[in-house]
Amino acid sequence: MAEDNKPANYTEDDIRSLDWKEHIRLRPGMYIGKLGDGAAPDDGIYVLLKEVMDNCIDEYTMGFGKNIELTIKNKSVTIRDYGRGIPLGKVVDVVSKINTGAKYDSKAFQKSVGLNGVGTKAVNALSSYFTVTAFRDGKQKQAEFERGFLTKEHKELTTTEKNGTEVTFTPDDSIFRNYNYRYEYIESQLWNYCYLNAGLVINFNNKRFISKNGLLDLLQHKTNADELRYPIIHLKGDDIEIALSHNGDYGEDIFSFVNGQYTTQGGTHQQAFREGYVKVIRDYFKKDYEAADIRQSIVAAVSVRVQEPVFESQTKTKLGSQYVSEGGASMKKFIEEFLSKELDNYLHRNPAVAESLKKRIEQSERERKELSGIRKLANERAKKANLHNKKLRDCRIHFNDEPNSKSKEDFVALKNNTTIFITEGDSASGSITKSRNVDLQAVFSLRGKPLNSFGLTKKVVYENEEFNLLQHALNIEDGLEALRYNNIVIATDADVDGMHIRLLLMTFFLQFFPDLVKRGHVYILETPLFRVRNKQTTIYCYDETEKQAAVKKLGSKPEITRFKGLGEISPDEFGRFIGQDIRLQPVLLEQGDHIQHLLEYYMGKNTPQRQEFIIDNLKVELDLIEELN
């Protein structure tokens, strides 16, 4: 018998070369980030859609095709643009040969978002069905694929269709398990395309998207005009557009874009804006304000166009480019010079706006000084409380970690899956702790119900031990740049007390750290309410309808267990519900929702409107239960 530490044989037979299809399907995270089931805005099914849409947008920015049609039906996605159309002789190559495309020639695509020739190949390889049709100068060419394999190449035909390209694909459900498209995420993505390309028209399932005023429209949709301290400042220049204002929320809310790509994790352009904005404000008022006071409560959108952008991963969520073009200005200098001229001019021309801005900064300054002493004491208390032993069972990889290995793409995919479960009670946290992935999943245990923080100031975050320790666990005291987990999952019982704790935690996040919700980091963990089983089969059910279907399927009076709390679910069972088949319900803000109005309605004084809402919904719930029974 070989010794345990003796290496296995290593020969030529162990060396294997994968073709492009196999590699993408074996390592999808390198190409599209995390897979997911559609519950998160950065899940793979939306990346596939975006890869195809980006090509349509590139055509529009080059001056070809004002309209894009998007249809989703029964998980099948069809995207049709009216650009120039893929050259007919290259239709198969463009979607099935890696590193093939027109974007290597900067004359054809000066400022495209995708330059590596991977996008549609990844969509093709990860789809159970994929077809591409090019319409060009009265002729058309079509090719069909399954999981990247060419199944049928059609002959060229004559056509009366307008020039352009149509792609239809169905994500492979053996890779994207139990997935569903959430139209809220898709519509948000489509609005961003329109804000960044004024005049572009996108039709999605017969709903029309168009923006006339670019980033000005974006901020108007994302904010409530009544809460803005001054009218939105809108500045445009060559390859740069900026819109900004201040509201009454905590933190910074900055939307950044590069060549039409929404960089959810920021990057060099966003940092350049943050620094350049501070410099201009200090110079204008001739006062050395703290940077945090200047940027507190800012809401802004920044869009730049650069040649051959460098991103930190294939999913293009963080820009790494230091320069706007080869031999051109640095990103920092480019944005700073634009702000120094345009924003400074605007403030001189609009003294009332400048005065409102100054008052907002000075308010932030007063609030910071009032908090400074409390903050210091709270930090000392957090250290004495020994957070990592008392409240937090941490994981090994964190969202704010920097890659330190050659497999950078793999690392980015891993850290995007970092998760913290916020649980109630020792039994629930114990079950999750025993069954979690220790590399990627952390557990924070609450003691009792959190405080209702609605209407309170940030002072309470430092004075309340639970809030203070949670803030430290997430590492968000100074903003989201150092956030330690991409997914913040509220894991409470599905009873009245559990629902109340959910509301209190969501109130805490919305009141003091709204960017966590706005940027899609907060979720509710769905766990089964019932276990239905016989000797051969066990089915976990998440609602009454699923239970009835399971009973019908198993027949012969199966055993039915009602889980009253998370602590009743064994660690072995829990592993199924927080692993590959995890079900997460995202906490979403609808377009136009205003945080303070929402909090007032749900967490403020008991209003007649809320009483009426509860009574109406309780009636519906009781009618449903009666019908099911």
10 Å CB burial of residue 410 (0-12, 13-18, 19+) is middle
Quickly list H helices, 33-149.
44-61, 91-96, 119-125
At residue 309, the pLDDT reads: 84
* Tens-digit pLDDT profile for residues 215-258: 999 999 888 788 899 999 999 999 999 999 998 888 888 999 99
The radius of gyration of the chain's CA atoms, rounded to the nearest angstrom, is 26
Q: Indicate the CATH number for domain 20-209.
A: 3.30.565.10
Cβ atoms < 10 Å from Cβ of 40: 22
| Residue 323: DSSP 8-state | B
Cα angle 589, 183, 132 (rounded to 5 degrees) comes to 145
Residue 402 to residue 415: CA distance in whole angstroms: 9
The predicted structure's pLDDT at residue 116: 39
Encode pLDDT of 598-615 as tens digits: 777 777 776 676 667 666
Q: Which amino acid is at 146?
A: E
Residue type, 583: R
Rounded distance between C-alpha atoms, residue 372 and residue 346, angstroms: 33
Lowest mean pLDDT among 298-312, 317-331, 457-471: 317-331
Question: pLDDT above 70 covers what percent of the chain?
Answer: 86
What is the tens place of the pLDDT at every residue in 384-394? 666 555 688 99
What does the pLDDT read at residue 613?
66
Whether 217-368 shares its CATH topology with 385-527+565-593 is answered no
Q: What is the DSSP letter of 105?
A: S
Q: Do 384 and 370 form a contact (C-beta atoms < 8 A)?
A: no
pLDDT of residue 493: 82
- pLDDT of res. 529: 87
Tens of pLDDT, residue by residue over 264-295, are: 888 899 999 999 999 999 999 999 999 999 99
Q: Where are the domains of the chain?
A: 20-209, 217-368, 385-527+565-593, 531-562
Q: What is the pLDDT of residue 40?
A: 83
pLDDT of residue 380: 78
Provide the sign of the torsion angle of the four alpha carbons 189, 191, 197, 200, taken in this order. Answer: positive
* Range scoring the smallest mean pLDDT among 95-99, 475-479, 544-548: 95-99
Please give the sequence-ordered ranges of beta strands (E in DSSP) within 138-297, or none if there are none: 139-146, 149-153, 157-158, 164-171, 201-204, 207-209, 233-237, 240-246, 253-258, 261-262
CA distances from 452 to 444, 498, 595 (A): 19, 14, 15
**103 and 147 in contact (C-beta within 8 Å)?**
no
| 8 A C-beta contact, residue 249 and residue 224 | no
Q: Using N-to-C axis directions, what is the helix angle for 331-349 and 351-384, rounded to 10°?
A: 130
CATH no. of 217-368: 3.30.230.10
Which CATH fold topology does 385-527+565-593 show? Rossmann fold (3.40.50)
149, amino acid identity? F
Tell me the per-residue pLDDT of 186-213, one tens digit each, with 9 for 90 and over: 999 999 999 999 899 999 999 999 999 9
Task: State residue 120 phi and psi, 5-degree precision.
Answer: -70, -20
What pLDDT digit, counting tens, does each position of 104-160 carry?
344 444 555 554 346 889 999 999 999 999 999 999 999 999 999 999 999 999 999
Q: Which residues are paired to 419 by β-bridges?
A: 441, 487
